[in-house]
Structure 1
Amino acid sequence: MAWYRTGTVGVTNGSPAVTLTGGNALTNIFPGDTFWGPDGEPYEIAAISSETTFTLATDYQGPTATGQPYAIQPTGSTGALRLLYEQVSTLVTHYQTGRDAWAAAAAGTLKGRKSAGAGDVEDLSPADVLALLTAGPAAATLTGAEVLPALQEGNGVNVTALRLVNEVLAALGVYVDASGRLGIGTSTFDGAGDRRLQVGGSNTASQLLAKSNTTHLALYASSGTDAYISVPTGSAMHLGHGPADGSAFSDGIVLDANGNLLVGVPSGSTHYIDKSGAAVGTRFLVLGGRVGFDKVDGSNWSASATAMVIGNNTTTSRSINAAGTINTNGADYAEYVLKAWYCSALNPGAICGINADGLLTDRFDDAHTFVIKSTNPAVVGNDTWAQAVGPRPERPALDLPAYTGPERPVDGDPDYAAKMAAWEAAQADHAAAIEAARAAHATAMQQYEADLADFEARLEAERVKWDRIAFSGQVPVNVTGALPGQYIDAAPGPDGGIIGVPVEAPGPRTVGKVWKILPDGRAWVAVIIG
């Protein structure tokens, strides 16, 4: 049996409930089947609740998500029951269709032409219905809402084409040909035989075409040579443009299987917006008419964890041009300064020194200048220490291969057996390719997690070699007993360390002027570097 993948699912971490959108769980999913969730793990299906909900035998272990791809793997125990259900359902549908058509004809309420495009609209008798249900004429044309119920897909009606005609305007409304292609407002199909839907005549401005393998949905210009195309390929949705045959199109927007929105790029492991071919300095995105994003070529930012990284224009060295202020919660300007190898850990607000090598020291006799460690900086400079660690590892994306094999053949196809065998083989190959992709992704994730742990360890080892020192602004200093208006000077402490003492006048060892006393008794100072 083929795997079922129609629609998307919503799952919740720690819950067995699964919500199905765009599919039918009652007719396609059975207890005992295997649910391959968005996390790439298999779960046994315990029960089917409705067309849109089913329940797993165990709680879902992956992250909560909606609109995710999935797969249902039928089990051997349900395959025979599923086939029996499909056959009985088809039989009942055929019986009901024929019964309803016969009843309508017997009541004299069914009208139509007995020959395509010829003769007047007249009552259809039960004998006419029987002819349509068996051999029938070459074509049948029906009017308005008086559509023969028997002429429905899959009921065994043997007609070459079905036409629904507006009798007042004498215009063709809907046309279905013998291969199942649907035309609205036209009976002529452009392009190859895989076009399954066409709205409007050849190369019209409003023409809409869909391919039977669901890989293209194109809205054509009047010339028929350019189209905007939506391409669901099983693992991603593409919006782009290209030639009328749907080949060699260029992606404009991609929504991939990982939920990443990609604009201007064909692939990526995160949401990504760019403009292909844009030169450095070119504005490629504007938000709200006043926030612009320009193409830059520099990306030498720190690898430390943060909320945002911004590259720079390497010609001007600029990252941000702001027409107004840049506001933060911090209170001082600080810079990273490398510590001497013997310097111990420094607490925020500690007084420390700068030695002859320009390194931070906690030894009074080694220092020629004294500074305060920042507590809550607004801006931090000299943030280059993480460059020695290298770039942060990039999380691998799960890229599931798209199905590109043949379609499932329809009943009555003269080559049904051969096409069915080819379709089942292609489905099996596709399922194997998906499993291979999931296995490769799992291996890549293991390597990524190991690389990330190693990176974080090396990053922390490098970080402790540096400290943020206040160069201007307001900071707390770890000195008590001071009064507003006094100054704080560095002084020798126990064991050759550095402490702070309040003084009445500034000097070469002054680190700040006291503005106020904090509730914990420490001094709040305006930074001074003597």
Structure 2
Amino acid sequence: MATVTIPIALGGTNTAYSDGTGANGMASSNGYGYNSLFIAMSQEVINACALAVQYATNLSPAVGDRTVSGNLGIGVSPGAWSGSSNVVQVGANFALENNAGAAGYSVYNGIRQSGVWKYLGTGAALLYGLETSGNYSWYTAPSGTAGNTISFTAVMTLNPLAGSTATASGAACSLVLGKDGTTSRTINAGGTVNASGADYAEYMRKAPACGVLVKGQICGIDVHGELTDLWDDAISFVVKSTDPSYVGGDVWGTEAALGMSRPVQPDTVTDLPQYEAELLLFNAALEAARQQVDRIAFAGQVPVNVVGAAPGQYIIPLRDGVGIGAVAKDLAELSLEEFGQAVGKVIAIGDDGRARIIVKVA
């Protein structure tokens, strides 16, 4: 295998030798007191080290940390960025930029020149920013031509400094957002908000004597505004939600309601056992609080646990022993009292034979 000897140096004068057999050369001292390295390498190794050579030639010989004068390119020579930009460019289309020592951005197919974003190549552009306002911002731009000015459009902004998340439920979820300290808003949507659920529901507290409520069950509301499964205690009737798209009244699981805070995962392994013990206690308190509430449908479509109904009929609550049952009736058969107590109108029959209704709150 043929070999070549190449120097990798940080500066200064160097001396080295190669014996011509492919064996290692020598390391010697350069003018800055750092070792320079001369190695006899195969061509394959030389190709693999090309990036390291490019990086080393830009190193400033400082005691301790190493710094790069100018921008850094990985797999590519960095483009002609604005003088205020400190950049790590990776490949032809991606870069990390710190602008004037302030905001930081990751950008695809964009380059800042004279303070203006321009397309690096032909195609769409994407931008994500950690901005001095405290915002996390995402931007997109349609396909454009290399060298043309980019007009980014903000598609999402998160402001973690806007307010506290302490009023949010402690239940497990994918995303927790705070609220604005002035307007109390969390989300402003410029378009529709789509969800897969079929009804609007709210959490309601259960009366102490109320048993387990199943999805689609008709239950009552007592004089204290609490859910009941006892006919004699009910003054109006509702249906437990099955597949809500939105749930209101979710305050039962907040840290204030529980009287305790969710533990924060520690940075050290030694503190992990205490964290896990505290988390078990928190989750137990959360589940105990959850058992005291249930989700009730107040609008939209919901299945109800009544079979034998036909589309167009109304679902009317009735006594079932000490509990609450229901029956389907045609409009012509209803008394005024029954119409007032109806929980909804049947619009379809599900594959399981249960009626699907449009919710009518009694």
Place the TM-score, normalised by the shorter chain, in its bin: 0.5 to 0.7
| Contact 1:490–1:501 (8 Å) recurs in 2 | yes
- The question of 1:499 aligning with 2:328 is answered no
Structure 1 unmatched ranges of 5 or more: 1-100, 102-138, 162-175, 183-196, 201-206, 231-238, 243-248, 254-272, 398-440
User: Residues 188-219 of structure 1, C-alpha deviation per residue, up to 9 Å, x if partnerless?
Assistant: xxxxxxxxx9978xxxxxx6415454x33232
1:320 equivalent in alignment to 2:153: no
Structure with higher Rg: it is 1
Counterparts of 1:398-477 in structure 2, within 5 Å, are: 441-477=268-304
Matched, 1:209 2:60: yes
For residue 526 of structure 1, what is the aligned residue in structure 2? 358
Which of 375, 378, 395 aligns to 2:265? It is 395
Q: 2:238 aligns with which of 371, 376, 398?
A: 371
Q: What do the CA deviations read for 1:258-285 (whole angstroms, capped 9, x no partner)?
A: xxxxxxxxxxxxxxx8545x2xxx7541
| % identical aligned pairs | 37
Letter of the aligned partner of 1:394 in structure 2?
V
Conserved? CA contact 2:303–2:357, under 8 Å: yes
In 2: Cα distance, 1:381 partner to 1:497 partner: 27
Q: In proportion to residue count, which structure has more strand?
A: 2
Aligned to 2:68: 218
Per-residue CA distance 1:400-424 (angstroms, 9 max, x = gap): xxxxxxxxxxxxxxxxxxxxxxxxx
1:443-481, Cα deviation, whole Å (9 max, x unpaired): 211111111111111110000100000000000001112
Per-residue CA distance 1:232-269 (angstroms, 9 max, x = gap): xxxxxxx9799xxxxxx99969xxxxxxxxxxxxxxxx
Residue 351 of structure 1 aligns with which residue?
A: 218
In 2, the alpha carbon distance for the partners of 1:394 and 1:383 equals 22
Contact 1:283 1:292 in 2 (8 A): no
In 2, Cα distance between the equivalents of 1:210 and 1:478?
77
| Residue 180 (structure 1) shift | 2.7
Q: Give the alignment's TM-score, normalised by structure 2.
A: 0.64
Per-residue deviation, 1:386: 0.2
Deviation of 1:482 after TM superposition, in Å, equals: 1.2
| Equivalent position amino acid for 1:445 in 2 | L
1:141 deviation in Å?
Answer: 8.1
CA distance in 2, matches of 1:310, 1:373: 27
Within the candidate set 108, 113, 137, 1:285 is matched to 137
Tell me how large the CA RMSD over aligned residues is.
Answer: 3.9
State the structure with bigger RCO (CA 8 A, min sep 6), 1 or 2.
2
Which amino acid is 1:458 matched to?
A: A
What residue identity is the alignment partner of 2:324?
I
Could you tell me how far apart the structure 1 residues matched to 2:211 and 2:56 are? 77
**Does residue 1:179 correspond to 2:179, yes or no?**
no
Paired residues of 2:203 and 2:293 also in contact (CA < 8 A):
yes
Shift of 1:493: 1.0
1:477 alignment partner, SS class: strand
8 Å contact kept, 1:302–1:383: yes
Structure 1 residues 198, 502: closer, same or farther in 2, change over 3 A? closer
Residue-by-residue CA offset, 1:11-43 (whole Å, 9 max, x unaligned): xxxxxxxxxxxxxxxxxxxxxxxxxxxxxxxxx
Aligned to 1:149: 18
- Larger proportion of helix: 1
Query: CA-to-partner distance for each residue in 1:59-86, whole Å, 9 max, x for gaps?
Result: xxxxxxxxxxxxxxxxxxxxxxxxxxxx
Q: Distance in 1 between matches of 2:196 and 2:14?
A: 75
Q: Which runs of 4+ in 1 moved over 3 A?
A: 139-142, 152-157, 197-200, 210-213, 226-230, 239-242, 249-253, 273-276
Contact kept? 2:27, 2:35, Cα under 8 Å: no
TM-superposed deviation, 1:320:
1.3
User: Helix, strand or coil for the counterpart of 1:309?
Assistant: coil
CA distance in 2, matches of 1:252, 1:287: 14
Q: Distance in 1 between matches of 2:277 and 2:359?
A: 43
Distance in 1 of aligned mates of 2:131 and 2:297: 41
Paired residue for 1:297, among 163, 185, 192? 163
The number of equivalent residue pairs is: 269
Question: CA separation of 1:472/1:251 partners in 2, compared to 1, >3 Å: closer, same or farther?
Answer: closer
For 1:241 and 1:511, how far apart are their aligned partners in 2? Answer: 60
What's the CA shift for 1:323? 1.7
TM-score of the superposition, structure 1-length normalised? 0.45
C-alpha distance 140-508 of structure 1, shift in aligned 2 (>3 A): closer
> 1:418 matched to which residue of 2?
none
Q: From the superposition, tell whether residues 180 and 391 of structure 1 become closer, same or farther in structure 2 (CA, over 3 Å).
A: same
